[in-house]
Structure formats: structure tokens, C-alpha cells
Chain A
Amino acid sequence: MTESPWKEYDLSSTRRLSLRIGKLKLEAGVESGELKIRTMNLTPHLDVKGPAEGDEPEIGSGWHRWPLENQGHRLSLLPMFPDRPLIARTESPIHLARGNSVRVFVRVPVWVKISLTGERVVEMMKAPVVVLSKTWFGTFMEGELCYWLSTTARRRISSDLFRHHLVICPLQIRNGSDSELLLEEFCLRVAHLSIFADKEALWADETTIVFRGGEQTSSIQTSGRPPAEALEARLLIAAEQPGGETFAARTFRTLKAFSGFGSGG
């Protein structure tokens, strides 16, 4: 298992920092009173499982520069969730009978938050470790833009699946409707999740989703603390929107056809 990249780096003693986090290559250095940072995503649209056919030519941004005044030369890297909700599509759908519940794990690729620490913390930039495809969650007339994630939705998680650039999100899904729930795609509202870290992996707090059926919004609650599998994990990043609350949100797509030819809702 490689060393965790989530820490501070002293740039005053290092000419250039070069890191590989997932499929993100990050380079940083201090030169002539300027901080320079460059990020490159290798093999865009890589899903969480890994590259399809090895690395492809690098694409990404060029160097970004920040003039340094009295800031320190310590660079802090922290993980954060993507800036939009995620639509997770299970590779094999799960049939959840009325009244039943299931606990699954979804691994979400993080974004890297790069900050300069010193007298005060100055956020420099954010970059995704994996460039996810976009998708639309809603109807043809209204909805929200989300990221697309393919997941195996494991029932158990083992240490060979731990990665420093993937947050393991435990989900407890309960079918509170009158009919069977076909768990094929669901919306993961990551703005309500915190990130905890232990020695081996990143964890999100447990999310409980209660499906109420049809077009009704689901009830979602986040625990606000590390899951049972990682009770010793420490808080790295708090949720953007406070956890521990119950809120209602659209989580499951309707069963109506949402085909590319505009039929259905």
C-alpha cells in the first residue's frame, strides 16, 4: 500500500514536488518568488475500476502561478468530494423487496484540494483525480447536472480495495415503498458527506436512504461520524452541508423510459 498523499509538503527544501494520486499527476514548485502548480489527468473518463488499456497521452492544464508574499512554502493536499452529486450505476442491479434493506459500499474518486499553509491557509486550486463523465438527473424539462459513476455496489469491503484516492461510502438503503425497488441507479449527494481517514483508506460517514416509492423524494440521513468499519478514523474534511440531518431529495430515477429519443419523463 502506497503512502497517503494527504499531508503537508515543505517546498522550501524541495525543488519540485511531483506526485501521482490515482490518475492525477501533480507537480508543484517555488521559483523566483512564485508558486507554480500543474495538474494533468491521465486517461480521461477513467472509471473507478482502472484504466481500460494502460495510460494514454496526458491531457490537462498547464502551469498556474501564484506570486508569494509572506505566505509560507508549505503545500497542503486534502481530499474532497466532487463538486456535484454523483449518479452511481450498479453493474448488477439489486432487487430490494418491500420493507427490506441492504447495505452497500460505493467507492468515489476524490478531488484534490491544494492549499498554501503559513500565516493563513490559502486555497490554490482543486483538481479531480479521475475525470468523471457527466449525466443528467431529472426530466427533459428540469433536473440537475451530476457526475456518472459505475460501481459494483459491494456488500462487503476488504482491504485490497483500499485506495488513497477513493472514498468508501457505506450506504444503507431501505425500501419503504409498497413495491419492489430495482436498485440500478441512485444519486449520491456527496455535499452532505464528511471524509474520514485511517491509515489505509478514506471513509465517508454512513448514509441511510429510505425509498418511499414512485416520484416521491427519498429520506436521506447521514451519520456525521466514521462508519463501523473505521471507528478510529479521524475527520479530514467536514461535509459542506452539515451531516446528521434528515433531508428529502430525489435519489432514484423513475422507471419511465428516459431514452435518448425524448420519450417518457
Chain B
Amino acid sequence: MSEWTLFGRQIGEFLTADEIKVLLRVVVFAAVGFPLVLMLTRLARRYVTRHYSPQQGMVAGKLIFYLGFTILAVSVLNELGFSLSPLLGAAGIIGIAIGFASQTSVSNIISGVFLIAEQPFVVGDLISVGSTRGYVLSIDVLSVKLRTFDNRFVRIPNEFLVKSEVTNITRFPIRRLDVQVSVAYKEEIGRVRDLLMQIAHDHPLALQKPAPDVIFSGFGQSSVDLLFVVWVTRQEYLALKYGLQEEIKRRFDEACVEIPFPHISLYSGSATEPFPVKMVEEKEE
């Protein structure tokens, strides 16, 4: 007698023919149903992403998955002969208990719905929340996931986002880059302004409109402070930020424009020369 036949006989001793049929149906349900749910999830996500947005595709995929999984679970339970009525009754009592215990989770879920409806940001946007700045990877049921510039993974609960100030850095197509430029008091401001405007005109990433500008910020302790503003597309912001400052330094060096380091001059009176300092060497005896 083969091993399979022996095994079948042993099973037959514990289960009736009807029970075996039910078990087989459940296995078929699970084996066919689960991959089907996964396939439908993938199709839904792909379709909605292509026709709408990645964010909405993700939501549609999750909806189909949870719904399909629930239907599959109920069907399997039904097949196994479990009546759902007592379960639903117990679920009501358990639900109240769980509700009290999971207020935060429920709040996160509801906040997530508001975030999706209001769309202060979408997947792919660069946002700033408190001291955290990163690209939105996903907006999920309980939280939003970010990837920071240095490739760290940050999870922010939805409730926190709804209650906090969130800055969407990449919502609009263009951004303004502000560069603080300090020059020595002896420099002619008009000449420095012309030089900065030429730098903006020559830089390949700087936009000519909105026009760049140079604003006199104020009289610093050691320097005259200027604010140099240049507009750029959001995709090229960082490239301009790093490249422009290097270019300013290079052109200032070429044009002999002094960028002073912080210094203090001591005067003995209102308009006298600074104190003379003379090093005196000790005579060797």
C-alpha cells in the first residue's frame, strides 16, 4: 500500500467525506482567491495611477486589497460553517473596547482621510514638517512616509500632520533663491549690484523673469549686507543654490571685491587711528 493511500485512510478516520469536501473548497478559495485579490489590487493601482495620479493609485490599490481580503475571509468562514451573526454581535462590544483603546489610531485614520481629500501635498512632493524635510513616499492609512536628503526613512503620524504647519516646498513650479552677500564697507554698492546682476544673467539655471534683484539689507558690524534674489525652477533649485554661490565667490575674486571676515577695530577716540600694537622682544642676558 502506498504512503499516500495510507495517509488518505488516516485522514478519513478523522474527517467525514462532507468535511473533506468543505476543506478542499476552502483551500481552493484561498489558493485562487488570494492571488486574484493581489492581481486586482495591482491592476487597480496601475490603472488609477496612469489615469489620475500615483497617490490616488496607491489609495485605490489599498481599498481593493482590503475589500477583497475581507470578502475572501467572510467567504472562507461561511464555507467552514461559521455564522457571522454572533461574531458581529461580539464585534460590537469588542469594537467599543477597541475604540477606547485605539483613539490615536482612529484619529490617524480620519486625519489620513482629510489629508487625501485636502491634498496639501502628494506623493513626490518635498515637504518640511518641523525640523524634518523629505520627499513624500506614501500617504498611508495611519501615517505619511518621507525619505530625507540623506536617505533616512521618516514616519509621521497623520494626526500630527493635520495639527502641524506643513510646508510644501515643491507645490509651485518656480522658487526664489535668497543669497546673503556681504561686502566690505569700502566697496561701491552700485558696482557690486551690477556684478551680481551679470552673474544672474549669465548663469544657465537662473530665470530672467521673474527678474533677479539685489536689495540693500543693512549695515552689518563688519560689512554691508545685501540680499541677492534669483528665481529658478523647482527642479533646479539645489543646483543653482550650490553653483551660484561658487560663481559669486569666483567673480568677486576676479573683480577684487572684498568679502570681509568678522573683525573689530579699536579706536582710542572718536576719529583717531587704531591703537598701535608693538611686539617687544625680551633681551637675553
Report which A residues bind B (CB closer than 8 A). Answer: 44-45, 87, 131, 133-138, 140-143, 145, 148, 185, 253, 258-262
Contacts and interface: CB of A to CB of B under 8 A. Distances in A.
B205 interface: yes
Given A148-B208, A261-B229, 13 more contacts: A45-B203, A87-B208, A87-B209, A134-B207, A136-B210, A137-B209, A142-B172, A142-B173, A143-B174, A258-B209, A260-B210, A260-B230, A261-B213
Contacts of A262: 176, 210
| B interface bracket (residues with beta carbon within 8 Å of A) | 20 to 34
Contacts of B212: 260
Contacts of B229: 260-261
Contacts of B230: 260
A140 B173 CA distance: 8
B210 A134 contact: no
A253 B176 CA distance: 20
B43 to A, nearest CB: 33
Interface in B194-244: 201-213, 229-231, 233
A45 B207 CA distance: 12
Interface of B: 172-174, 176, 201-213, 229-231, 233
Given A136-B174, A142-B173, A44 B202 contact: yes
A131 B204 contact: yes
Given A45-B201, A133-B201, A145-B233, A260 B208 contact: no
A133 B202 CA distance: 7
Contacts of B201: 45, 133
A33 B1 CA distance: 72
A260 B201 CA distance: 14
Give the one of A45, A253, A258 with max B CB within 10 A: A45
Given A140-B172, A145-B233, A260-B176, A135 B209 contact: yes
A253 B208 CA distance: 14
B170 to A, nearest CB: 13
Contact of A148 (B176, B203, B209, B231): B209
Given A87-B209, A136-B209, A259-B211, A143 B204 contact: no
Contact of A135 (B172, B202, B207): B207
A136 B208 CA distance: 7
